[in-house]
Amino acid sequence: MTSHSRLKITLLQVLVAIGFLLAWHIATTTSLFADPRKMQFFFSTPTNVLARTWKQLSGAEIWYHLGITLTETILAFVFGATGGVLCGFLFARRELLAAVFDPYIKAANALPRVVLAPIFALWFGLGIWSKVALGFTLVFFIVFFNVYQGVREVSQTVLANARMLGMNERQLMRHVYWPAAMTWMFSSLHTSVGFALVGAVVGEYLGSSAGLGYKIHEAESVFDVTGVFSGMLILTIFVIVLDTIVTMIENRLLVWRPGQSTTTANG
Amino acid sequence: MQAVSAAPETAGEAARPPAISLAGIDITFALKDGGRYQAVKGVDLSVAPGEFVAVVGPTGCGKSTLLNAAAGLLQPSAGKVGILGEGLAGINLKAGYLFQLDALMPWKTALQNVAVALEPQGVPAREAEERARAWLARVGLRAFTDRYPHMLSGGQKKRVALAQVLIRDPKILLMDEPFGPLDAQTRQIMGNLLLDLWAQDRKAVMFVTHDLEEAISLSDRVVVMSAGPAAGIVGDYRVPLSRPRDIADIRLDRDFHEIHRQIWQTLKVEVQKAYAAGEGRDMA
């Protein structure tokens, strides 16, 4: 974005949305490409999707499902982040432990976590805990690697300075290693919250009786394309709201960081 | 952490033992390729209480390495480090160390950075904060107590670092080109600030720099180190300039030019040697 004004960019962005919706509308309500009824079966129509979304959001049921998904996301994030911070910290401070476990951690991280979903459903049932477990395996590794790297790469000068100030191991931990670890955890906040949500939704999709993933799956199983799209739209709104909250938290917690950059990556 | 009195033979000899005494110091590093690099060889250097000693030498000559040995941050391969008459084992807690690079904790404000320096001494948090506030005022940062390091200029960060070191009231100050990254004017201002603060209680200072003018204008004694590897001391000069000094004015003094000329004769040879050996090699 060099010399283009903010207003111009916003206008063009709105134009893209209108163009997309218009194309969708024309394609599905006229016989330009195919029989509208056939088109609507596969693609629904923008007005139907918006109407359904509005109806859902003004009803009570969807909020229950959103609540379930949110609970799973938060639990997966809290457990995953806590585990990741503790393990990352421990491994960074214990060379031997890190060396011994290195190949196993890499192997575990290389495994596509989705394949674990059925196992988790078997172990933890179809309730929220199998989704929390799936989200945990995603969040844990992101936070773990970030914290591990962060603690190991603490500025040697800052560390030497703290030691020259007479700090003992416990004080170094509290004033140097811990803040460094937290920094790295927060810098992966967007990614890890995103993955916690992925874990929750994918888990619900694969087997559950509540949550947004379940709603989408339910609509899909009866070929209710309008329901699928409206579920996706609600999911998108949900992610944007969550991401905005994370950004707000991040800005508060990382005030000391120079020109902080935000990493946005939702799977 | 102290103890292990390694120098009983010097104990009764002088009324005031040297603040820092380095005797027969060798420092050798193991290199990654399996080889060894001897940075410092056979260095004897003693800094008296209240004395301001500058160590100059070409870049990469091992002067910072020597300073780290005095700080206890690294163990010499041979020789003895004595601090105020006692052998040094582990970190030198009687010394404050001012680093060349940013050493402040970036996640703490100026005030927190200074106050935390008192925690190892067991000073209660509230009192530490009050004293830190007073120290920040002394270094001219009264209005910047709540700023994080990245919101401060290079000179302001050095002021915070100075307050952080001095609030502990160490007997010895070790400085590793602390004003190196600053611009010329800020260096002079910081130099004068340092001399002002130093004059109040005259701590023993070991000040490492490659800037001869800075060395002369600040110190009582200038020690010249040879080019590495196996760097040693090749010159030791007393600076015949009276105090108090103004860093900017003293450079115009006739005596300043005379001593500068003398030391430069020695230093020039080493700088040329270091240059010939390849400028890039930076072991400092």
Instruction: Name the residue range of residue A126's domain.
Output: 47-253
Comparison of pLDDT for B15 and B232, the residue scoring more: B232
Domain identity same for A178 and A239? yes
Model pLDDT, residue B60: 77
Average pLDDT in the B60-78 region?
A: 91
Q: CATH number for the domain including B270?
A: 3.40.50.300
Domain identity same for B123 and B149? yes
Q: What are B37's strand-pairing partners?
A: B29
Model pLDDT, residue A259: 61
Model pLDDT, residue A95: 85
Domain identity same for B134 and B51? no
Calpha distance A64→A126 (Å, rounded):
17
Calpha distance B266→B284 (Å, rounded):
20
Among the three residues B123, B152, B169, which one is the final residue of a domain in this structure?
A: B169
Model pLDDT, residue A253: 80
Average pLDDT in the B133-152 region?
A: 94
Rounded to a whole number of angstroms, the distance from the CA of B240 to the nearest CA of chain A is: 33
In a domain, B39, yes or no: yes
Q: ipTM of the assembly?
A: 0.86
Q: What residues contact B255, with CB distance under 8 A and at least 6 apart?
A: B240, B241
Asked if B106's CB is within 8 angstroms of A256's CB, the reply is yes
Domain identity same for A168 and A64? yes
Model pLDDT, residue B3: 42
In a domain, B227, yes or no: yes
In a domain, A261, yes or no: no
The token pair at A123 is 């172990």
Q: What is the pLDDT along chain A (267 residues), one digit of tens a residue?
A: 456 789 999 999 999 999 999 999 999 988 888 888 888 899 999 999 999 999 999 989 999 999 999 999 999 999 999 999 999 989 988 889 989 999 998 898 888 888 888 899 999 988 899 999 999 999 999 999 999 988 888 999 999 999 999 999 999 999 999 888 888 888 888 889 999 999 999 999 888 889 999 999 999 999 999 999 999 999 999 989 998 998 888 888 877 877 644 443 333
What is the distance in angstroms between the CA of the first residue and the CA of the last residue of chain B?
27
Give the total number of structural domains in chain B. Answer: 2
Cβ-contact A133, A123 below 8 angstroms: yes
Model pLDDT, residue A2: 57
Q: What residues contact A244, with CB distance under 8 A and at least 6 apart?
A: none
Q: Kindly identify which residue of chain B lies nearest to residue A259, measuring between CA atoms.
A: B150
In a domain, A244, yes or no: yes
In a domain, B282, yes or no: no
Portion 115-154 of B in contact with A at CB < 8 A? 116-117, 119-121, 148-150
In a domain, B184, yes or no: yes
Residue B247 has pLDDT above 60, yes or no: yes
Calpha distance A175→B113 (Å, rounded):
10
| Of residues B92, B95, B103, nearest to A161 (C-beta) | B103
Residues of A in Cβ contact (< 8 Å) with B99: 157, 160-161
Among the three residues B152, B169, B186, which one is the final residue of a domain in this structure?
A: B169
Asked if B91's CB is within 8 angstroms of A166's CB, the reply is yes
Residues of B in Cβ contact (< 8 Å) with A153: none
In a domain, A165, yes or no: yes
Rounded to a whole number of angstroms, the distance from the CA of A159 to the nearest CA of chain B is: 8
Model pLDDT, residue B223: 96
The amino acid occupying position A133 is: A
With CA atoms as reference, report the closest residue to B175 among B156, B194, B157: B194
Domain identity same for B75 and B175? yes
Model pLDDT, residue B8: 41
Q: CATH number for the domain including A168?
A: 1.10.3720.10
Model pLDDT, residue A133: 95
Average pLDDT in the B73-98 region?
A: 92
Residue A168 has phi, psi (to 5 degrees) of -90, 180
Calpha distance B256→B248 (Å, rounded):
12
Model pLDDT, residue A265: 37
Among the three residues B118, B141, B169, which one is the final residue of a domain in this structure?
A: B169
Domain identity same for B174 and B256? yes
Calpha distance B171→A29 (Å, rounded):
86
Q: What residues contact B142, with CB distance under 8 A and at least 6 apart?
A: B136
In a domain, B284, yes or no: no
Instruction: Name the residue range of residue B32's domain.
Output: 8-94+170-276
In a domain, A233, yes or no: yes
Average pLDDT in chain B: 89
